[in-house]
Amino acid sequence: MTKQGVQHMRGFLRGGGEAFRRAFIPGWSRIHGSRSLTLYNPILAPFSLVYGLGVMCRLWAYRLGLFGRRRLPGFVVSVGNLTTGGTGKTPAVIMLAKWAQAEGKKVAVLSRGFGGRYRDQVLAVSDGNRVLADPRAAGDEPCLLAEKLPGIPVVLSRKRYRAGLFAHHRFGSDFFILDDGFQHLELKSDLAFVLLDVDRPFGNGHLLPWGPLREPIGQLHRADALILTRFNFSPSGHAALRHMKEKFPEIPVFCASHFPERIVFPHTGQDKAPAFLEGKRVLAFAGIARPERFGETLRALGAEVAFFKAFRDHHVYKREEVQTLIQMKEAYRAQYVVTTEKDWVKVGALNETYGEIGYLNIRFGVVSDENRFFKIIQNGFRDRQTL
């Protein structure tokens, strides 16, 4: 590596500041997961109080009919979180959309497109045949959905009702999957599924910004089913399942896991089983809600993670950053550079050839009472048809 390259790498590492940040400046993930007293508590608690008052006023306004609610001409399944990300919502939407498509439904995915820069009232990311927008315009998750769901339109709008009408009139859709829809009260859902991380379903139990909660825990009464994600059948997982069933006895609780399926190197055409990573020395990076989870997954597959670079969720990659990561591969004597499929959507959009970089493909699957889970959807769709 050239002297200039070494200096650039050092700047990159300092910019990331992983060791410094972890030692002195806890990230939001650490703050939201900690129940111990810190100097941040008295600073963030008043903001959480104000945020909570705002949330409750909004909920009451909808309950009293001060804010109108609309219904689409079709069946609407909402997939959402109570907390700020990290539950695996996008793979869950992909799983549901593929299932509904296999059942013969005319499916469309509706999303807000977090991080997207589109200015139109409605943006079709996919018409079911082609991907029509890039990650800068649409955001990373809608583009990933569009690539993973051939035959299924993906439509964005700040007002999901408008996106649904567009999908209905343009594509004939009548089965709508509302991505990140639990807090989107303007559009009525026929079913609302809420995903909760099995390790820390409510984080530290506080509202934003002190904690990860977007709404008070009691608002889960609006859900039709709860899904504990990343369930691994461990004693702690079973304890979390029992706790949720006891706390919300009137709501069905299901368990789901994320299964690594393939390691894909798009620019070389390699497509390997996850066991390919066993014993391999890799450099990894991720810009997702809880990037450390990706590192844990790679280690569980037997990979030796020589270096891990964490970026902010929805990070927009620059060519210089990616090139530095490739240079670091040599410096750390790694054999491969590995990232998530969501991150690859943005890296691939740079239109460069990155033969050294592969992504890990993940499948979401319900692992408890799967038949009952899909029966809830079938019954809900049937009931909606009779109205």
Same domain, 223 and 276: no
Cα end-to-end distance, the chain, whole Å = 68
Helices (H), 111-267: 135-138, 140-148, 160-171, 235-247
| CA–CA separation, 209 and 38 (whole Å) | 14
- 334 shares a domain with 204: no
65 Cβ partners below 8 Å, 6+ apart? none
Write the DSSP string, 269-306: TEEE-GGGGTT-EEEEEE-SSSTHHHHHHHHHTT-EEE
Do 135 and 233 lie in a common domain?
yes
Tell me what pLDDT residue 302 has. Answer: 98
Q: Both 215 and 123 in a single domain?
A: yes
For residue 16, the model assigns a pLDDT of 45
Question: What single string gives the DSSP state of each residue in 353-377?
Answer: --TTEEEEEEEEEE-SSHHHHHHHH
User: What is the pLDDT, as a whole number, of residue 4?
Assistant: 52
Answer yes or no: do 202 and 80 share one domain.
Answer: yes
In terms of residue numbers, what domain contains 287?
258-364
- Asked if residue 376 and residue 262 are part of one domain, the reply reads no
Domains identified in the chain, total number: 2
Residue 56 domain-assigned (yes or no): no
Confirm whether 223 is domain-assigned: yes
Classify residue 34: in a domain, yes or no.
no
Please tell me whether residues 209 and 246 are part of one structural domain. yes
Q: Residues 104, 121: one domain?
A: yes
Tell the residue number behind the tokens 């569980």, with chain if given: 300
Is 25 part of a structural domain of the chain?
no
- CA 293 from chain center: how many Å? 13
| 31 domain residue, yes or no | no
- CA 253 to chain CA centroid, nearest Å: 20
Residues 360 and 272 in one domain: yes
Residues 237 and 298 occupy one common structural domain: no
Asked if 300 and 283 sit in the same domain, the reply is yes
Digitized pLDDT (tens) for each residue of the chain, 387 residues in all:
554 554 555 455 544 444 434 433 446 777 787 777 777 888 999 999 999 999 999 999 999 999 999 999 999 999 999 999 789 999 999 999 999 999 999 999 999 998 889 999 999 999 999 999 999 999 999 999 999 999 999 999 999 999 999 999 999 999 999 999 999 999 999 999 999 999 999 999 999 999 999 999 999 999 999 999 999 988 989 999 999 999 999 999 999 999 999 999 999 999 999 999 999 999 999 999 889 999 999 999 999 999 999 999 999 999 999 999 999 999 999 999 999 999 999 999 999 999 999 999 999 999 999 999 999 999 999 999 887
Q: Is residue 33 part of a domain?
A: no
Which among 95, 128, 164 has a CA at the least distance from the CA of 362? 95
Residue 19 lies in a domain: no
Q: What is the CATH number of the domain that holds 314?
A: 3.40.50
Residue 252: name the closest of 279, 224, 278, 276 by CA.
224
Regarding whether 375 and 231 lie in a shared domain, the answer is: yes
Confirm whether 158 is domain-assigned: yes
